[in-house]
Amino acid sequence: MKLFSRVIGEGPDVLIMHGLFGMNDNWNTLGKRWAEDCGMRMHMLDLRNHGQSPHSDDHSYQAMAEDVIEYLDDNQIESAIVMGHSMGGKVAMRMAVDHPERVEKLVVVDIAPKGYPVHHQEIIDALRTLDFDVLTSRRDADAKLEESMPNFMMRQFLLKSLHRNENKRLEWRFNLDAIETNIEMVGEAMESTAHYDKTTLFIRGEKSGYIKDEDLSTIHDHFPKAELHTVGGAGHWVHAEKPEEMYREICSFLTEA
């Protein structure tokens, strides 16, 4: 599958992959800064079923990882630093385990290689309340979504993926049907034999709960060279909540020998 990307800068290649319901521009501001200040060529990707990339019924991590390998091949990139947040972090881990020769270093933001119970159904249910035969503006969509989703930040995150199709009708860029069908897969654990022994950085939000202290042993089972950095005061959307600390931490990681 041919993935859509935004590429900024010149230098060593860095791939960034968003989380569930996200898209490439979730990382656009930080990506520009890393390109300009850290001397990197930043590739902000839309994973399958998200953003401007194609849709498919298959939403497995193996398929998503192979899409990114195809992207590397198409762009004549032998290996890259690979970074992913949440679902994108699981894609990055899958790539590193299956194709370690293509992943120079790994950054995983606020997700662990363990299994997670399904916890996105409330979001899906809220999204299903929007009838785009009736709603004709982003403001109307936001007002309807607010009835079941009072969290302003979450609504704004989701509404980034709302656009008008060729018929001027509002629709989601993400493939809600495929996501809902495969929602149990989104939280699946890595198999016990999965292993990547190159430099790895895990970043967690202090208030998130996605990576707990007791998960460190599991992380090191799969990624023995992993280090963990905790961003104080941040939740799951670490890069949106604490962009300055993320900027400094990642820039240091990208440029260190």
Give the Cα separation of 236 and 234 in Å (integer). Answer: 7
67 is known as an active-site residue? no
Angstrom distance (rounded) from CA 86 to CA 184: 14
Please give the Cα distance from 21 to 123 (Å, whole number): 10
Active-site residue, selected from the candidate residues 86, 110, 142, 161: 86
Q: Are 215 and 114 in contact (CB under 8 A)?
A: yes
For the range 135-140, what are the long-range contacts, defined as Cβ-Cβ under 8 Å and sequence gap of 24 or more?
Answer: 135/170, 136/170, 137/170, 138/162, 138/170
Whether residue 1 is predicted with pLDDT greater than 80 in this model: the reply is: yes
**What does 56-84 look like in DSSP terms, one character per residue?**
-S---HHHHHHHHHHHHHHTT-S-EEEEE
Which residues make beta-bridge pairs with 228?
202
Rounded to whole angstroms, what are the CA distances from 143 to 113, 139, 147, 170, 197?
36, 6, 7, 15, 48
State pLDDT tens for residues 116-153. 998 889 999 999 999 999 999 999 999 999 999 999 99
Q: What does the pLDDT read at residue 118?
A: 85
**Domains present along the chain, CATH in parentheses:** 5-116+187-255 (3.40.50.1820), 121-181 (no CATH)
pLDDT of 19 higher than 80: yes
| Residue range 28-47, pLDDT digits in tens | 999 999 999 999 999 999 99
- CB-CB contact of 119 with 87 (8 Å): no
pLDDT digits (tens, 9 = 90+) for 88-99: 999 999 999 999
User: Amino acid letter at 135?
Assistant: L
Does residue 208 have an active-site annotation? no
Of 43, 50, 222, 236, which is the active-site residue?
236
Q: Are 218 and 191 in contact (CB under 8 A)?
A: no
**Is residue 86 among the annotated active site residues?**
yes
Instruction: From the candidates 177, 192, 220, 252, give the one annotated as an active-site residue.
Output: 177
Residue the block writes with tokens 């497995």: 60
Please report, as a single letter, which amino acid is at residue 174.
F
| Tokens describing residue 97 | 């385990």
Backbone φ and ψ of 124, nearest 5°: -60, -45
Q: Which of 123, 187, 178 is nearest to 153 (CA)?
A: 123
Closest CA to 33 of 249, 205, 225: 249
Band of the pLDDT at 170, cuts 50, 70, 90?
Answer: very high
DSSP assignment of 129-172, as one string?
Answer: T--TTT--SHHHHHHHHHTT---HHHHHHHHTTEEE-TTS-EEE
Tokens read off for 177: 């049907």
* Residue 256 confidence (pLDDT): 86
